[in-house]
Amino acid sequence: MVFVHLIFLTQNLESLSSLLGILGFRSYSAKKREGSLLFQQNHISIEGRLPSSSHEKESLNKKQGTTIAEFWISTPQEKSLVFDKLGTTIQCLPPNKISEYFESRFYINQDRTDQSHHNFQPILSHIDHVALNIKEEHFSVTSESLRKKLGFVPLAPQKISGHTTSFTCSAFQLPGASFFLVLNTSCDPGSQINDFLNRHNGPGVQHIAFHSENLEASIPYLKQNSIPFIDIPEDYYNTLYKKELTSQEINSLKKAHLLYEPSLNHEGFLKQTFTKNLFGPLFFEIIHRHNLSGFGENNITNLFKALE
């Protein structure tokens, strides 16, 4: 399992802390640096930092108050990709280096941990993928850098088409790992990808997908704790695979506001849903896979059309 560490640069550390507490993360405080917190659960850690320089403050003002400045991936070898056209820094680091970083900078702070959410913790076992929006003209050089510098393997790109706009979803996987990077591009000026680029003032992380073992339990719990999710249009459930699902199963998905997609060989499936924008244009996805390595392309297309 790949361990992923995300570094949020934010003007609102309390909001980030509250959100991650609801998601079941345990909180750590910085030993030396004020304005920095660490949140950890299973194979996921998120570090929240307040801006510490005028340059960081100016950058955050352009990016609606929050951006993912870096993310680290645990790998046997140490590699780094600092790439302006990607909007973030990717580092591949040996697990012992990440552990040393945590131990030298943070300690557990039980007082900051919201115990009211610990009676039920949504099972977020790992980060399934991180999706980035980039300009179409930067895709080739970005793709080459991911392959040659970090060793990612490209998967077949998928085009998601709505009634009026479209975008291309290109996934990259670390060999032998259940972690993907997804690059989204679009040539349509009015697409959601280019809307993000305009609102975010450049490329960056669009969403983070957390894997959950029990979506049917997790999503209602998160909604009860004021995590806002997108509304799934009624028309979406009319497009579901009724030959494979019973009316009861479809109603169960509908009740939990989940999207569903079977694998081509009908031996696997994928369930997923998305929060609304949480920090500027950044949102979360909660996903569950069973013998399926795709990203719900038909799912997203149907939802995309329904939302349009």
Q: Where are the domains positioned within the chain?
A: 4-307
Neighbouring residues of 113: CB distance < 8 A, sequence distance ≥ 6:
21, 26, 27
| C-alpha 247 chain-centroid distance | 31
Q: What dihedral angle (degrees, nearest 10) is formed by the CA atoms of 56, 57, 59, 65?
A: 120
Which residue(s) pair with 129 in the sheet?
A: 180, 209
- pLDDT reading at 162 higher than 50: yes
Could you report the per-residue pLDDT of 49-84, keeping only the tens digit for each? 999 888 888 888 888 788 899 999 998 889 988 777
Q: Is the pTM of this model over 0.85?
A: yes
Q: For domain 4-307, is the CATH number 2.30.42.10?
A: no
252-294: pLDDT as tens digits: 888 888 998 887 777 788 999 999 999 888 999 999 988 877 7
Nearest CA to 122 among 16, 228, 225, 1? 225
